[in-house]
Amino acid sequence: MTLQECYQNLGGDFTQLKQRFPSVQMVKRIITKFLEDKTISELCHAIENERGKDAFLAAYTLQGVCANLCFDKLLASTVQMTALISPETNTITENCYLFLEAVKQDYKLTVSSIRTYLDSEHEE
């Protein structure tokens, strides 16, 4: 699998990625680090424990990472999630739970695509 195919699978913008990063090696290092990132678990934990401020921070952080890495599909669901969380009132709305499932699904797709890409790189 090529990096371009990986981005097609995860719903990312490969053209924008190429403009943003100078080399495939740099992208590989960064997306490998993404697999180690704990922001999604922080988001889930904050929502499950109804901690709106922490949930907002985690969602906003994930949103920024996705924007920088051109993970457009995951970015879209994360943007929607961020808009539903009110850090001022520290509350989690019912819709947050619904959108959390969408974020988790898009996250799983992103991670799966990255792992498939990285595994195919090791086979060559």
pLDDT above 90 for 85 = no
Distance separating alpha carbons of residues 43 and 81, to the nearest angstrom: 10
Domain housing 119: 3-123
pLDDT in tens, 51-78: 999 999 999 999 999 999 999 999 999 9
Q: What is the CATH number of the domain that holds 15?
A: 1.20.120
- What integer pLDDT is reported at residue 121 of this predicted model? 75
Global pTM reads 0.92
pLDDT above 70 for 90 = yes
Number of domains in the chain: 1
Scanning the chain, the segments in alpha helix (DSSP H) are 3-10, 14-20, 24-36, 39-48, 52-69, 72-84, 94-123
